[in-house]
Amino acid sequence: MSKLNETDVQGFVIRGYNFPFARYLFLEVTDHQKVRRFIDNLLPYITTGEHWDDGKPQSTVNIAFTHKGLALMQLPDASLLSFPVEFLQGMKARADILGDSGPNGPENWDEIWREERVHIWLAVNALSPAALEDACATIQQLLNTHGGAGIVGQQDAAALQIDGKFCTKEHFGYTDGFGNPDYLGLERHSQPGQGKLNKDGSWSPLATGELLLGYADEAGELPVAPLPHLLANNGTFMVYRKLHQNVATFRNYLEEKGKAYPGGKEKLASKFVGRWRDGTPTELSPDKEDSSIATDPSRNVNFTFGKDSDGTKCPIGAHLRRVNPRDAFGFNGRLTNRRRVTRRGLPYGPYAPEGQPITDNIERGVAFMALNASLSRQFEFVQQQWIEYGNDSHQGNDKDLILGNHGSHANGSKFVIQGTDDPKNPPFVCGGLTNFVELRGGDYFFIPSMTALKMLSTGTVDPR
Ligand code: HEM
């Protein structure tokens, strides 16, 4: 396949910027004509997928819309109705499907998400706080000049600083951000383990249509997309979820269970996720951290589960095995290839150093985003079937330990670590699970191409 027109795709879609600072601005649309002018004037600032020949810019700007936002911009009805139903409904209406109930239920979300007041998402990523403020000031200036929308909320996020250094850890202490799929026609060098598994054990990029609208997906079909095609092509859908982390509860749980687990606390932590906290995959090194693997791009995502069907190295219910089972379900991983998502986002809130008293109540978590061509086939399936349910992996009703909406202890939520006869690696059951992560809001967004943004800003979307 020839290279894609990367200048037409928003940069956020194509690459993880790996900038330490971000601010997500949430806008409410008040006037369709004025907001179009605002977007038209914002266009020169939007970061595309163009290659950065002169190194990284100081900051980036990207934009996305909820369905309600597109409706308020007065897209023709025929276009609005042609979007996939899950996007049309929005994330709040999909709560039952996603298992977003109880502490994760919309009634407990932050107000702006509860009231569905967010119509436009603007993401500013930056190399420094000053660059972040500069870019936000430019956006505010454009809003002041053109009007049509107002900022109703914002989420600051930043890479965690531990011992004064930025790192890629999240609040539970795990190194994050290894696994994201490769796609055909996108510039990243294919890393073994990132795309799809071939019969000979090698890896190749996934079909572009698993990420971008307008291209064939892994079934050789075009993903369901809105009309006209020019509006859809080179665009994608995004899930935004504000995921609060109950760090105190997590640490206490790990401490307590770690005393009972013969492998000790750190090994237990590795079993929860399928990676040691430094990122070493348990599948490749089940008994100890190995920084030579964790830091080697040719090995740190290059593993499969087919030969570990008993889960003795990586538990069958471990987070990364649930969300990307690779070849665990047979057929050389072909079932998994249709359920991949591309992750974006950063932690928010201050890092709590180990060993210091903390509470769950501090605003602390992950501003989580997932990109995919089909919200229902990809993100929603993973959330419903693999995170909130365990049947595909023969784990019954067990949920992902890290993410599961475990609710009250009475439902017997548990996580099973498969083991061997070796007393150092025994089977172990972690019971009494409670919510380590809680949803505080979010929505489904459409990230249009540059061409589509121009159409939106000039009011020339014509579905005929
Ligand atoms: C606070 C919330 C979350 C935490 C703390 C968390 C933590 C982690 C960690 C530590 C890893 C291993 C690092 C890596 O492989 O890059 C990982 C991988 C991953 N997580 Fe999460 N995660 C969270 C939410 C989610 C959600 C909501 C999804 C939904 C789909 C998700 C999907 C994934 C995927 C796809 C991978 C890569 C698996 C692979 O390709 O091997 N995570 N996560």
pLDDT of residue 413: 84
Same domain, 208 and 267: no
> What is the per-residue pLDDT across 20-74, written as a single tens digit (0 to 9) for each?
999 999 999 999 999 999 999 999 999 999 999 999 999 999 999 999 999 999 9
User: Of the residues 270, 323, 437, which should be mutated to test ligand 1's pocket, given the most ligand atoms within 8 Å of the CB?
Assistant: 323
Same domain, 79 and 214: yes
Match 């810019």 to its residue by tokens.
57
- Among candidate residues 310, 293, 311, the one with its CA nearest the CA of residue 302: 293
Residue 318 structure tokens? 């471990």
In a domain, 434, yes or no: yes
> What is the per-residue pLDDT across 354-373, written as a single tens digit (0 to 9) for each?
989 999 999 999 999 999 99
pLDDT of residue 187: 63
Is the pLDDT confidence value at 338 over 60?
A: yes
User: Which residues make Cβ contacts (< 8 Å) with residue 428, sequence separation at least 6?
Assistant: 260, 261, 262, 268, 271, 416, 417, 419
CA angle (448, 206, 379) in 5-degree steps: 60
pLDDT of residue 407: 81
The DSSP call for residue 284 is T
**Ligand 1 atom closest to residue 172's alpha carbon, by position in its atom list:** 5
CA gap 212, 190 in Å, rounded: 18
Report the domain count for the chain.
Answer: 2
Same domain, 148 and 18: yes
> What is the per-residue pLDDT across 221-255, written as a single tens digit (0 to 9) for each?
999 999 999 999 999 999 999 999 999 999 999 99
Among positive and negative, which fits the CA dihedral 133, 138, 140, 144?
Answer: positive
CA gap 415, 314 in Å, rounded: 13
Query: What separation in Å is there between the alpha carbon of 126 and the centre of ligand 1?
Result: 23
In a domain, 130, yes or no: yes
Is the pLDDT confidence value at 434 over 90?
A: yes
Sheet with 149-158, strands from edge to edge, namely: 149-158, 21-29, 120-126, 59-65, 437-447, 236-245, 365-372, 342-348
Is the pLDDT confidence value at 409 over 80?
A: no
pLDDT of residue 179: 79
Query: What separation in Å is there between the alpha carbon of 345 and the centre of ligand 1?
Result: 11
Alpha-carbon dihedral of residues 315, 105, 99, 447, nearest 10 degrees?
-90
At residue 174, what are phi and psi to the nearest 5 degrees? -90, 145
What mean pLDDT do residues 138-143 have? 98
3-state SS, one letter per residue, for 384-448? HHHHCCCHHHCCCCCCCCCCCCCCCHHHCCCEEECCCCCCCCCCEEECCCCCCEEEEEEEEEEEC
Match 């990284």 to its residue by tokens.
56
Same domain, 272 and 387: yes
- Which residues form the pocket of ligand 1, taking CB atoms under 6 Å from any ligand atom? 170, 172, 174, 176-179, 243, 245, 273, 275, 319-320, 323-324, 341, 343, 365-366, 368, 370, 382, 402-403, 437
3-state SS, one letter per residue, for 72-129? HCCCCHHHHHCCCHHHHHCCHHHHHHHCCCHHHCHHHCCHHHHCCCCCEEEEEEECCH
Which residue has better confidence, 192 or 34?
A: 34
In a domain, 203, yes or no: yes
Is the pLDDT confidence value at 156 over 90?
A: yes
Same domain, 308 and 326: yes
Same domain, 79 and 204: yes
> What is the per-residue pLDDT across 66-108, written as a single tens digit (0 to 9) for each?
999 999 999 999 999 999 999 999 999 999 999 999 999 999 9
The DSSP call for residue 338 is G
In a domain, 141, yes or no: yes
Same domain, 227 and 323: no
In a domain, 324, yes or no: yes
Q: What percent of the chain has pLDDT over 70?
A: 97
Is the pLDDT confidence value at 1 over 70?
A: no
pLDDT of residue 411: 59
pLDDT of residue 244: 98
pLDDT of residue 464: 87
The amino acid present at 250, given as its one-letter code, is F
In a domain, 368, yes or no: no
Nearest CA to ligand 1 atom 14: 178
In a domain, 363, yes or no: no
Same domain, 213 and 253: no
Alpha-carbon dihedral of residues 399, 198, 331, 222, nearest 10 degrees?
80
- Indicate the length of the chain as a whole number: 464
Instruction: Report whether 195 contacts 218 (CB < 8 A).
Output: no
pLDDT of residue 383: 98
Same domain, 223 and 300: no
Query: What separation in Å is there between the alpha carbon of 84 and the centre of ligand 1?
Result: 25
**Ligand 1 atom closest to residue 176's alpha carbon, by position in its atom list:** 13
In a domain, 33, yes or no: yes
pLDDT of residue 43: 98
Same domain, 265 and 207: no
Q: Look up the domain containing 13 and give its range.
A: 6-242+442-458
Same domain, 308 and 400: yes
CA gap 348, 22 in Å, rounded: 9
Same domain, 238 and 249: no
CA gap 340, 323 in Å, rounded: 8
The amino acid present at 142, given as its one-letter code, is L
Q: Is pTM beyond 0.95 here?
A: yes
Query: What separation in Å is there between the alpha carbon of 320 and the centre of ligand 1?
Result: 6
